[in-house]
A and B are shown apart, each in its own frame.
Chain A
């Protein structure tokens, strides 16, 4: 399968703990995106990378959130000191450089539950 892969699929954690998610994009895609989606809502943009450079971050990405893409391939999203409001589906997507008319290819997400 050459699609976008996310790990883990589900994560349950206690409030205050740190969690880290991983995303492996489609290998030839230089752009990688993180979104957050809550029940009944569309995805909300968090951040995106072109290769290893983080080019944009949403205001939703508080200082407890950090994302990296160290070698321009896989990416990690870390949430520190989790809060119940962080419970959501975290989606990763990738696209080629010329993204004007290219669709985003989404992974199946990591479902985070903070208890």
Chain B
């Protein structure tokens, strides 16, 4: 069964600190892995997309890594800001079509003063 598991479920950090979110997947065959940010009451917004051959991809203070051998990904947030408070969802595609996306349940991040 295709699954995407994220950890931790929730996280609280102080503003300015770094953090790393984890994603493990059992989706096969793998196509690409995506990280989305979802603010409360809003739709998800794409942060990164990585294919099998990509090990790392950055988008500003967000850096995603992918190890396709161990089927693990991480999202590192540098110098966190209050606006980073959101859910971060890992999504894995197991075909070339978006209808075959498997979503994780997300990590709820809260950045505090």
Contacts and interface: CB of A to CB of B under 8 A. Distances in A.
B89 A42 contact: yes
Given A42-B89, A106-B44, A109-B42, A101 B32 contact: yes
Given A41-B105, A100-B31, A48 B44 contact: no
B49 A45 contact: no
B96 interface: yes
Contacts of A55: 99
Interface residues of B, number: 23
Contacts of B91: 42
A103 B43 contact: no
Nearest to A92: B43
A105 B103 CA distance: 15
Contacts of A41: 105
B98 A91 contact: no
Interface in B3-35: 4, 31-32, 34
A106 B43 contact: yes
Interface string A47-69: 01000000110000000000000
Interface in B73-101: 89, 91, 96-99, 101
Contact of B103 (A44, A100, A101, A103): A44
A31 B105 CA distance: 24
Interface of A: 4, 31, 33, 40-45, 48, 55-56, 91, 93, 95, 99-101, 103-109, 111
27 contacts: A31-B98, A33-B98, A40-B105, A41-B105, A42-B103, A45-B99, A45-B101, A56-B99, A93-B43, A100-B31, A100-B32, A101-B49, A101-B51, A103-B34, A103-B46, A103-B49, A104-B44, A104-B46, A104-B101, A106-B43, A106-B44, A108-B41, A108-B42, A108-B43, A109-B41, A109-B42, A111-B41
Given A33-B98, A42-B106, 17 more contacts: A33-B99, A41-B105, A42-B104, A43-B89, A43-B103, A44-B103, A48-B99, A91-B44, A99-B97, A99-B98, A101-B49, A103-B46, A106-B43, A107-B43, A108-B43, A109-B41, A109-B43
